[in-house]
Structure 1
Amino acid sequence: MMTFQLDRIHCEGCAKKITKAIQEAQPNARVEINIPARTVKVGGTSDRSKVAMAIKGAGYTIEAAA
């Protein structure tokens, strides 16, 4: 599972937008978002670059990745 720390996630709407973008890029991805911690955990895929591009394409900046 890969983890991304984002610059901002304010609400459930943000979480839905990010989840949709990731799942469109990687249909088998499992996405877990922690809004207060501003983290996105993604499993079911090993293509970190596609996931990162999907997050950026949704309008979010990745501060750190693990």
Structure 2
Amino acid sequence: MYELQVEGMSCNHCINAVTKAVREVDASAEVDIVLAEQKVSIDSSADLQRIKSAVEEAGYPVLRTSAS
């Protein structure tokens, strides 16, 4: 399970774009986004750095990451 603090998310389009970016790395990833907290929780076995890069390439800066 990963948690990312992602800047710039404000609407459903943002949720879809970030979810799509994560699923391009891991098609079976479970993605939960809380816009008010700018928090993305991801259940995936993919490499955290690859996920972070995909989200940033989609146009959303990742301020912080953690793995649990």
When normalised by structure 1's length, the TM-score is: 0.91
Aligned to 2:6: 6
When normalised by structure 2's length, the TM-score is: 0.89
Question: RMSD of the alignment, in Å?
Answer: 1.0
- Structure 2 unaligned segments of length 5 or more: list them: none
Q: Deviations over 1:12-42 (max 9, x none)?
A: 1100000011101111211110011101111
Contact 1:2 1:48 in 2 (8 A): yes
Between the aligned residues of both structures, percent identity stands at 26
Runs of 4+ in 1 over 2 A off after TM superposition: none
State the aligned residue count: 66
